């Protein structure tokens, strides 16, 4: 089990990174990325701390779970996305998620495209994407997210269908903020089967995509 998008109390999650990781490990996760919300006010505060705690936890718990530090660049002006992605890359091995144009939040138009062009790792909950967005995400190797998060998940089936049609990489994440948002293996399969109407093989493909992305960082 791999989750590449979660939040700690370094943004709007409720758990300290160590507790989030411990609880994820008990739920059966093998890899977890902590990707707190950042903009230019806090990226230099949050990211080094997540890099530090990830190194500490990997030193002691890596037999059970591996931790990837990261950020979710959230609601920033479109013109700033590239510089914040570049800053994150300059800090070391950290996964870069961008908060996409969710159907339930007023994310600035153009965010999806700018995030893909900036070469983030995952475009989270990208909403009502068109073929062009899916195609450039395939070309740039940016994964499109299928999400367990209420609200954002309204567009899951659309993201899956347009993504598949254009050969984009799709990943599934919890976007956990609370302990109860962490899933177990059965829940992951159930959410994917029910929201996307896909079979076992297609579910395995999504899980395999997460595995491949995680290998860039561990
Ligand atoms: Zn949040
Ligand atoms: Zn998030």
Q: What is the pLDDT of residues 36-76, one digit of tens each?
A: 999 999 999 999 999 999 999 999 999 999 999 999 999 99
* Calculated CA dihedral for residues 175, 90, 18, 99, nearest 10 degrees: -10
Give CA–CA dist 38/56, Å, rounded.
22
Could you tell me which CATH class the domain 2-214 is placed in? Answer: alpha beta
Report CA(67)–ligand 2 centroid distance (Å). 16
CA angle in degrees (0–180, nearest 5) for 78-82-88: 125
Give Dmax (Cα) for the chain. Answer: 44
Average pLDDT over residues 149-163: 97
Domain residue spans of the chain: 2-214
Residue 197 burial (C-beta neighbours within 10 Å; 0-12, 13-18, 19+): exposed
> Tokens 């940016």 correspond to what residue?
142
| Per-residue DSSP letter, 108 | P
Average pLDDT over residues 191-210: 95
Report CA(96)–ligand 2 centroid distance (Å). 11
Report CA(3)–ligand 1 centroid distance (Å). 15
Q: Relative to the alpha carbon of 35, which ligand is closest?
A: 2
């Amino acid at each position: 089990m791999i989750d590449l998008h979660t939040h700690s109390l370094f943004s709007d999650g409720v758990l300290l990174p160590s507790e989030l990781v411990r609880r994820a490990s008990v739920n059966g996760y093998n890899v977890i990325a902590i990707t707190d919300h950042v903009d230019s006010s806090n990226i230099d505060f949050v990211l080094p701390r997540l890099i530090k705690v990830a190194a500490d936890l990997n030193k002691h718990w890596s037999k059970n779970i591996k931790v990837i530090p990261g950020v979710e660049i959230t609601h920033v002006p479109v013109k700033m996305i590239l510089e914040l992605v570049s800053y994150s890359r300059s800090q070391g091995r950290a996964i870069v998620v961008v908060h996409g144009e969710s159907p339930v939040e007023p994310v600035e138009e153009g965010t999806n495209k700018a995030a893909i062009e900036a070469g983030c790792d995952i475009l989270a909950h990208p909403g009502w994407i068109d073929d062009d967005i899916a195609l450039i995400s395939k070309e740039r190797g940016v994964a499109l997210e299928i999400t367990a998060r209420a609200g954002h998940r309204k567009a899951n089936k659309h993201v899956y269908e347009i993504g598949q049609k254009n050969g984009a990489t799709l990943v599934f994440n919890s976007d956990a903020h609370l302990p109860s948002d962490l899933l177990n293996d059965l829940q992951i399969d159930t959410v994917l089967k029910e929201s996307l109407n896909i079979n076992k093989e297609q579910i395995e493909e999504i899980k395999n995509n997460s595995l491949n992305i995680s290998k860039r960082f561990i």
